[in-house]
Structure 1
């Protein structure tokens, strides 16, 4: 069976090449089975209940209505870590730029003229003395794919690193050096750090994580970097902290009219993950995740559904998306028993209000399979039923 994929934004050709032409059509219908996107605002783009999955080539998913997607039985994927190295490298660059007057020195040097340019350079260079990162303390808020890399890079440059992440995964914890201490509370990081850099996802819980209250706790004269998401740092609080000298400089990837023409603010135009390599990596990772789900029903890197993986060893696989309520598995297996369908393998996982069940069975005649799917879908709490042939 051929599946239809619709893309939004510019998706790297290497990502689209993941879909075999014999099995997939790209951008040939307005009623696709799945979407592959980057920054498209899906809050304003109707995608309907027929879309099985949305894959976001990138980490942030605040451009996707997750509640609506879950209610429709649409699995939303992202690509955590696909642009992590790109963001890490930019953070290293911005740390140096914030510490050394690189831009002003280049501008000055371009204006030199005359035969004694070399002499002028030697005389003028002392006006552009900066400081070194080595020996300074950096607080890294969020120790996921990006934050853990930034922490290691900062340590490699001789900085003292303090990490803070109450939700760090075991995977990322293992990646961190034992030499990098982790604070128990945000205030500890703010009080101790010459530089504070933020690398956490945007959620309603994390909105305005850094407000006037937190900036009153920050070490006076610290430099604050936000290359995470807009909305995590309160802009009005930053302006006030800059005006009263509580922080020395604000460096961010998110533009705002409040920061225009301020010498103590450096704004880059949301380029944290904008490298050729990161875009290719994100597109390929999103496409591979999408293809795995469409062909096997296995779910990895979903932001609204549980991780569910099971070897596809039988002739037929049934996948059910349903509400996470008691006795659902019993009701599902009862219907299979009534239809005299033997279960070869089965897995059930839940996440918040949504649950996902995969059942592997032997081959079933087409008419019987149609009746079985209808019976399962008739359970009021079942949202979607799919039958996958191996």
Structure 2
């Protein structure tokens, strides 16, 4: 049987599939070559994608012999799940494989905001010794607001609590006795506005849907503290980027850390790239070596399970 990998996949996952006897064709740029990809699809029993490959009805109609689609990650906004379900094609995601890496990214962002060591290093190398300017502040007793309270937020909360932070969360789908509230010490907020008003850092952990698109915008940025930061490692489009720029420039908030953008990659002359207090990274929150190895191995094993007649524990449809 043949498997096509259209985007970046760690070598150990590809080798695992080959050891299992599959023919694996791998082109990490194929997700961007739409016409070429559509012509190739009928040849394959399984497809493995990331977030750039657009799995829509045209894609699925071309994938006539595909029995399973593996997603190297957890975001699903690039996949038409209803269309896959109609065609009886299971879609499996790398459930929680990169959750720890994303949680550590959030902690790194907060530490960078409170103690900007790279800026201090650059300043010292210019011959300066400005100890007062780089004094910074502690995370201890600061408040972290988590928008969405799934597994990644749970891991963020555990780490933030270890730093002595107060953690508040907003998620209308979390019940009072779910683990993040019952066992992690997160205080529930009744509304998003309430969370924004309390938080020194606001970290976003929700999928991009019609309900969450631009949920942080010009209407609620003024509710935040003037020294607060937004951290988005979830999906571009949840934060309204133009409104964010205005909020930072007008000093309604201090800044932001954006790992995901509405249009990726960002152009060097884009408005976001001109605001120093908005720190950008190239969609890497979940891209540690360890997370990518776990993700690749999990998807390889679950694709194999489905191709051999089993049901995946990571199936989303």
TM-score w.r.t. length of structure 1: 0.69
The Cα shift of 1:143 comes to: 1.7
Question: Which residue, out of 41, 45, 65, partners 2:53?
Answer: 41
Structure 1 counterpart SS, 2:274: coil
Mapping 1:1-390, distance limit 5 Å: 3-19=1-17, 21=19, 23-27=21-25, 31-43=43-55, 46=59, 47-112=62-127, 121=129, 124-168=130-174, 173=179, 177-255=183-261, 256=266, 257-303=270-316, 305=317
CA deviation string 1:19-52 (max 9, x = no partner): 3646422229851111122234134883423211
**Contact map agreement 1:80 1:145 (CA 8 A) in 2:** no
Structure 2 counterpart SS, 1:196: strand
The Cα shift of 1:282 comes to: 0.5
Q: Which has the larger radius of gyration?
A: 1
Larger mean CA deviation between 20-29 and 229-238 belongs to: 20-29
**Higher normalized strand content (fraction of residues):** 1
The Cα shift of 1:103 comes to: 2.5
The Cα shift of 1:179 comes to: 2.3
**Structure 2: stretches of 5+ with no match in the other structure:** 27-39
The Cα shift of 1:145 comes to: 2.0
1:116 is matched with none
> How far apart in 1 are the matches of 2:175 and 2:309?
26
Count of residues paired in the alignment: 293
User: CA RMSD for the aligned pairs?
Assistant: 2.5
Larger mean CA deviation between 221-230 and 253-262 belongs to: 253-262
TM-score w.r.t. length of structure 2: 0.84
The Cα shift of 1:141 comes to: 1.1
4+ runs of 1 displaced by more than 6 Å? 169-172
> How far apart in 1 are the matches of 2:85 and 2:108?
39
Structure 2 counterpart SS, 1:91: helix
**Contact map agreement 1:152 1:176 (CA 8 A) in 2:** no
